[in-house]
Amino acid sequence: MNTISVTDLGKSAYFLMHGYKINNIQNKSIYFQVEESKEDEFKEIGLDYLSSEFHRFDSCLVSLKKIGEYTTFSKNSRFVNDLGVAAYILMHKYKLLGRKNRFIYFEVEDNQESIVKFNDMIFEYLLSDFHRFDSCLMSIKKLNEYIFER
């Protein structure tokens, strides 16, 4: 059994989703236990992550964390208060309007069909692998914080 370090949080969450076990966390490095016979597969999964929708989702998450407060919204705006949901919606080409406090606003046409489609996307996220990926991201972050608080 070998230990391989990964410094990218998104890639680490992707490995975790693929069943690889974390052995340790030190500073910004996450160490995975990898059987010798699976090292090539591990490397391939790491490369696959870079062209995956999960990498795009992670990029949306990071971008959303950086947007500043903006408070002028039209009647065609809808909001969510969860970063993961917002990233999922952003991935689906909804126009981002801004943020106020913890609320992230998107442009949604002012008709019943568009509003229902937007709301359905929120529930769709909860059942998606993107929610699972986001949970892996958060778990690694919390584990990292826990280890350094000791």
pTM: 0.87
DSSP state of 20: P
Q: Rounded CA gap, 16 and 46, in Å?
A: 11
User: What 8-state DSSP symbol labels residue 110?
Assistant: S
**DSSP letter, residue 128:** S
Q: Which of 115, 58, 113 is nearest to 91 (CA)?
A: 58
The CA–CA distances, whole Å, from 40 to 10, 47, 64, 101 equal 19, 11, 34, 44
pLDDT tens string 91-143: 999 999 999 888 999 999 989 999 999 999 999 999 999 999 999 999 998 88
DSSP 68: -
Q: And the tokens for 90? A: 């952003």
Over the stretch 56-91, which tens digit does the pLDDT of each residue have?
999 999 999 998 887 677 778 999 999 999 999 999
Residue 27 CA, chain-centre distance (Å), reads: 21
Say what angle helices 129-149 and 112-126 make with each other, to 10 degrees.
Answer: 50
- Of the candidates 10, 45, 1, 52, which has an alpha carbon nearest to the alpha carbon of residue 28? 10
Q: How many CB atoms lie within 10 A of CB 145?
A: 10
DSSP H or E run through 22: strand 21-26
